[in-house]
């Protein structure tokens, strides 16, 4: 269950959103809570616009995660980290497609970018901003550790999103919709569990090695010493 993943939703890809006080939208791409409810269908006891907005935010977080893995792989000097980042990038791109298809199957529009999704996009950008801007001003160990920490933070949020999606699915009044959500979660949850376990364990390993392996050997340069510490931590 997946569609062609869109990594960045824009006007050209069909993106639409809600006009608000500081958000101007061309009329053809503007939407309202009533329109979202009409698309998803009326469900007694549900704020359909909120559910649609939450799904949009979940999708935005997956897209931010894909960007994080891509940039982390580009900045890493360690083959083990690069391999894992690229592996998880590929899986995250698949998750984006699964979210898009899920929203479509529920009657929504995966091109809808909710206010919550726009905030999510900004939070994801900020998570990358520090290590990217300071990449040339910090040592290799600090940079590798910071990207790992960013992955840990992002993956915790990602896991929570899928757990919340499970709960949201359980309160949907339509059995077919409930089954659709459950199938998507079952497909993705094992990979998300692997992502967070690997990121956390690797972060702990790297920090422990750094704490117990002084880099005072003057016979080798700082870059070489720090590279050896990272290699030792991940071997």
3-class SS of residue 234:
helix
Of the listed ranges 31-45, 73-87, 118-132, the one predicted with least confidence: 31-45
The C-alpha atoms of residue 181 and residue 199 are separated, in whole angstroms, by 26
pLDDT tens by residue, 21-64 = 656 656 666 676 777 777 776 566 788 889 999 999 999 999 99
Average the pLDDT over 81-90 and give the result: 96
pLDDT at 233: 57
pLDDT tens by residue, 149-197 = 999 999 999 999 999 999 999 998 889 999 999 999 999 999 999 999 9
Whole-number Cα distances in Å, 88 to 66, 72, 73, 76, 202: 8, 11, 10, 15, 14
3-class SS of residue 17:
strand
Task: Please count the other Cβ atoms lying within 10 Å of the Cβ belonging to residue 159.
Answer: 16
Contact residues for 155 (Cβ-Cβ < 8 A; gap 6+): 65, 192, 195, 196, 199
Kindly indicate the confidence band of residue 223, based on its pLDDT and cuts at 50, 70 and 90.
very low
Domains of the chain, residue spans: 27-234
Q: What is the chain's mean pLDDT, rounded?
A: 84
Contact residues for 8 (Cβ-Cβ < 8 A; gap 6+): 63
pLDDT at 37: 76
Kindly indicate the confidence band of residue 218, based on its pLDDT and cuts at 50, 70 and 90.
very low
pLDDT at 193: 93
pTM comes to 0.83
Helix then strand then coil, % of the chain, to nearest 5: 70, 5, 25
- Give the Cα-Cα-Cα angle 104, 110, 114 (nearest 5 degrees): 130
Q: Which CATH architecture has domain 27-234?
A: Up-down Bundle (1.20)
């Amino acid at each position: 269950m997946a569609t062609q993943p869109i990594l960045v939703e824009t006007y050209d890809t069909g993106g639409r959103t809600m006009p608000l006080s500081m958000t101007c939208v061309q009329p053809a791409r503007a939407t309202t809570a009533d329109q979202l409810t009409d698309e998803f269908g009326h469900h007694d006891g549900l704020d359909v616009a909120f559910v649609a907005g939450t799904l949009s935010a979940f999708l935005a977080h997956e897209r931010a995660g894909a960007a994080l893995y891509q940039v982390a792989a580009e900045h890493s000097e360690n083959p083990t980290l690069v391999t894992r980042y690229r592996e998880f990038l590929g899986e995250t791109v698949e998750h984006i497609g699964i979210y898009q298809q899920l929203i479509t199957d529920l009657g929504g529009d995966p091109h809808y970018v909710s206010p919550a999704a726009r905030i999510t996009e900004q939070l994801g950008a900020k998570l990358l901003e520090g290590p990217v801007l300071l990449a040339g001003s910090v040592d290799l160990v600090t940079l590798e550790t910071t990207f790992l920490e960013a992955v840990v933070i992002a993956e915790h949020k990602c896991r929570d999103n899928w757990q919340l999606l499970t709960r949201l699915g359980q309160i949907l009044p339509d059995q077919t919709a409930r089954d659709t959500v459950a199938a998507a979660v079952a497909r993705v949850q094992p990979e998300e569990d692997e992502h967070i376990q690997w990121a956390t364990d690797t972060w702990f390993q790297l920090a422990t090695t750094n704490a117990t392996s002084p880099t005072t050997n003057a016979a080798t340069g700082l870059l070489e010493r720090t590279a050896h510490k990272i290699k030792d931590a991940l071997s």
